[in-house]
Every structure is written in structure tokens, then in C-alpha cells.
Amino acid sequence: MIPVTKPYLPDRNKLDKYIDGIYQREWLTNNGPLVQELTHRLEGYLGVKNLLLVGNGTLALQVAYRALGISGVCDREITEAITTPFSFVATTSSLKWEGIEPRFVDIDRKSWCLDPLAIEQAITDRTKGIVPVHVFGNACDVDSIDEIANKHNLPVIYDAAHAFGVIYQGKSLLTYGDAATLSFHATKLFHSIEGGGVIFRRKEDFDKAKEIINFGISSSGNIERTGINAKMSEFQAAMGLSVLDDIDLILEKRREIWEAYHFVLRDCYVTQVPSLGEVQNYSYFPVVLNSEKEVEIVVKRLHEKGVMARRYFFPPLNSLPYVDDTSNVSNAADISRRIICLPVYHGLSKDMVADIAKIVRRDMV
């Protein structure tokens, strides 16, 4: 079977060296040496500051909401955040978990990211923040979103789970917004088995979040605020450091896979229009077909051949049973019905890629 993605597993001897250090120190969690090392190395590699590592990518979103003051858990009035219906479920579920009602607006038909015009039209006195997604690592219109946020005094938390290593306008895409969150789940380009991170624009927000992830305990040992346990462990950091050692190799392999798909399918598929000035990370190969019927035929044929393509992202999040939203999101609804993501992972051979692409091409009706 060929899955849609597969975790990258580094050389065992390399991982064991990091783990040996854990056994020697007997320091397993609570901002251990490997978590500190991974933080420092990731800040350098990504070109960011104020990076806080956490237990997973969903916690990263929730901690960012709390640190930036948009959580609605304790509010008597309805708290809303404007977000996208075209994303993984965690973007919405993290909002709901924090007592924030998602207010969905439509996506741009070319970039598949939030349409800035739709954002501004949806702002009300209940709006406490904007949560856009860099879908498949494609940069949102960050300048327009920043302008809207400044005009209405709203924090922007980017769900950047797909955007590891993406460069936009000459700097890390993760530097935009009041916060940008990352997922280091095992299936991601860079992973620590489970894990995540938040990059904050301001040091004071970083310091607040650092207390939040440690039960609300301050550096002086006093309990200053409501907190949770969202810390990354030393074993997660060991895997992260091992994967980071090989990140250039991983990126190059994904680029080769992406280009191999494109070579076979270049004249018969539609995908995102990359944002101008972006250097992408080739994490995904999404394909938009002509109709939902065509998607069903292609997916069925691929599954018969043992290829597990996925319908990312289907259905749109505004259709989830626990949200109450009747917004018109026709672009997101249309694209979600016609999209599939083809397998991309380090161990996928060029021959496999060619075979998959040929099946997709042959079964397009």
C-alpha cells in the first residue's frame, strides 16, 4: 500500500545518541536541554524569534488564542474569530474548544487562502481575532490581512501547520501575524512524532504563553494565571533534532517528487496559484479535477491499485455538526468537492510517482 504520507524516520544511531543523553541526565520534560537546543536551532533555521515549543499543533493554536486574549471560555458574550472553511478540522475544533465561535468566510479561488475582502465584510463587534491558514504552505495575502487587522485592532493568528520553511517576500512566512503556529505531527515535512510550536511577534506574548503551557506558573514560581500542561518532552525533541539534521535532504526529495508529478500531469490539472515571491516547501501535491464525479472515479481507481490518495479538505469545515454558520463559501465548497492530494513522502520512488500520475491522468473523464 502507498499511503498519502508517511513519517520520515532518521538514522537510528543518530536518534540513539540524543536518547543516550536523556538517559544520562534523567531529565525528561520541563524545558529540558534538548527542547532548548531544538528551540535554538529551529529559530536559526527558520529565521524567527520568540519560538515556543509545545506538545502538538492543536495546543499551539489554543495557547496562541489564550496568549493573545481571544479565548471566549470565560466570556459571557459571544466571542467570534474569522477563519477559513478550507483547512484541517483542528483549525475549527481548537476555536470551539476555547469558546470561540468560528465565523467562516470564503477563500480566494486562486490561492485557496482567505479572501481579504470577505474578511473585512464579516467583521462585527463580536469579532475578537482573525485565524487565516497558509493552505498547503501557500502564503495568505498577509499585507492586506495585516492592514485590515490594524484598522480594526484585531490580533492575527496564522495556522501555519503547512508552512514550515516557506519563505515569502525574502523572509520566513512565519514572521507574519501576531502569532503563527506550527504542527510537528509525524506526517509533516518536519516532525517530532507529536509536537508543535508558536512564533510570537512580541516578546511579552511569548512570555505569557510560556507560563500558560506550564500550569500558569511564572519564572518566580508563583501561579500568575490559568494554565495547562502543553510542554514538549525531551523524547519528542530528540526526534525533532534528528529530523532537523536531515531537513535539507527531506526538502530536496519532496521537491523531486513534486516535479515528477508535475511533469506527467502538467497539461491536465489545476492547482493553487503560488503567491508571488514565495519559496515553497513542496509538502503537498493537491490536484483539482473537473468534477466530484471525476474525483470519485480517480480515488476509487487509485485505491484499487493500493494508492491512498486523500480528499483534502473535504467536506468544508462550515458543514461540521458542531458549528452553526450559514455563510456563503461557494469557492471553498466547490474546490473541496473536486480536490485530491496525491502521496508525497520521503521514501516514495520516482517510478511510484510516475505510476500514480499515469493512473490519475488516464482516469480523468
Kindly give the pairing relationship between strand 79-83 and strand 127-131.
parallel
Question: Please, what is the Cα angle at 94 between 314 and 56, to 5 degrees?
Answer: 95
33-46 vs 234-245: helix crossing angle, rounded to 10: 40
Kindly give the pairing relationship between strand 171-172 and strand 157-159.
unpaired
List the grid coordinates of 260.
515528477
Helix H or strand E encompassing 297: helix 292-304
Q: How many residues does the chain have?
A: 365
List the one residue out of 250, 255, 248 whose CA is nearest residue 353.
255
Kindly give the pairing relationship between strand 196-200 and strand 179-183.
antiparallel
2: left (phi over 0), alpha (psi -120 to 50) or beta: beta
> What ranges make up the beta strands (E) of 66-125?
79-83, 100-104
List the one residue out of 241, 209, 174, 215 whose CA is nearest residue 32.
241
Residue 177 DSSP one-character state: S
Q: Can you tell me which residue has the cell 532548548?
A: 36
Kindly give the pairing relationship between strand 179-183 and strand 278-279.
unpaired
**Catalytic residue, candidates 128, 188, 208, 210:** 188
Handedness of CA 79, 208, 216, 223 (dihedral sign): negative
Q: How far apart are CA 179 and CA 66, in angstroms?
A: 11
The answer to whether 358 is a known catalytic residue is no
> What ranges make up the beta strands (E) of 38-133?
51-54, 79-83, 100-104, 127-131
Q: How far apart are CA 66 and CA 324, in angstroms?
A: 23
CA atoms within 13 A on the CB side of 326: 0
Positions annotated as catalytic residues are 188
